[in-house]
């Protein structure tokens, strides 16, 4: 009998939000996620390209958000194919860009945005995929 190596089938961040409707609108309208019905009035799951984000209406501290922003602590990093097109779409839709699209020393091209709840999301693409 052979043993199969475990493999992740999904991996989704759960983000605590103050304004669930506003968060859903951002992830739907700016980033292109699709949402089903809100569960229990406080929980929503968005999906795009086989990935998910879970949004939960729950308290968080403003101090933590500010510390993360000042020190560029990411909440989510997403690898993208076509990062330039995504960057153009996000800027056209008025997303708050914290770090414009630029090459990194480690060979990617990245940008950071902040969602309406203060979460910092980085999007990057390997510039030399081999």
> What letter does residue 118 receive in the DSSP assignment?
S
Sign of CA dihedral 114, 66, 78, 84: positive
Tens of pLDDT, residues 51-94: 999 999 987 777 877 777 777 778 888 988 999 999 999 999 99
Q: Give the predicted TM-score (pTM) of the model.
A: 0.74
- Residue 88: both structure tokens together: 């153009």
Q: Residue 2: its pLDDT value, please?
A: 62
Q: Residue 43: its pLDDT value, please?
A: 93
CATH architecture of 14-126: Roll (3.10)
Cβ–Cβ under 8 Å, residues 23 and 119? no
The full set of domain ranges for the chain reads 14-126
> 122, exposed or middle or buried, with CB in 10 Å at 0-12, 13-18, 19+?
buried
Q: Residue 67: its pLDDT value, please?
A: 78
Which backbone phi and psi does 61 adopt, to 5 degrees?
-95, 140
Q: Residue 129: its pLDDT value, please?
A: 63
Check whether 8 has a pLDDT greater than 70. Answer: no
Q: Residue 25: its pLDDT value, please?
A: 97
């Amino acid at each position: 009998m052979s043993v199969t190596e475990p493999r992740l089938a999904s991996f989704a961040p759960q983000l605590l939000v103050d304004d669930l409707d506003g968060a859903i609108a951002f992830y739907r309208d700016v980033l292109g996620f699709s949402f089903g019905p809100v569960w229990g009035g406080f929980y929503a799951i968005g999906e795009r390209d086989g990935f998910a984000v879970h949004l939960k209406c729950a308290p968080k501290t403003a101090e933590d958000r500010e510390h993360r922003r000042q020190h560029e602590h990411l909440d989510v990093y997403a690898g993208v194919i076509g990062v330039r097109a995504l960057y153009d779409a996000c800027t056209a839709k008025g997303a708050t860009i914290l770090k414009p699209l630029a090459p990194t020393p480690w060979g990617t091209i990245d940008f950071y945005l902040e969602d309406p709840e203060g979460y910092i999301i980085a999007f990057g693409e390997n510039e030399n995929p081999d």
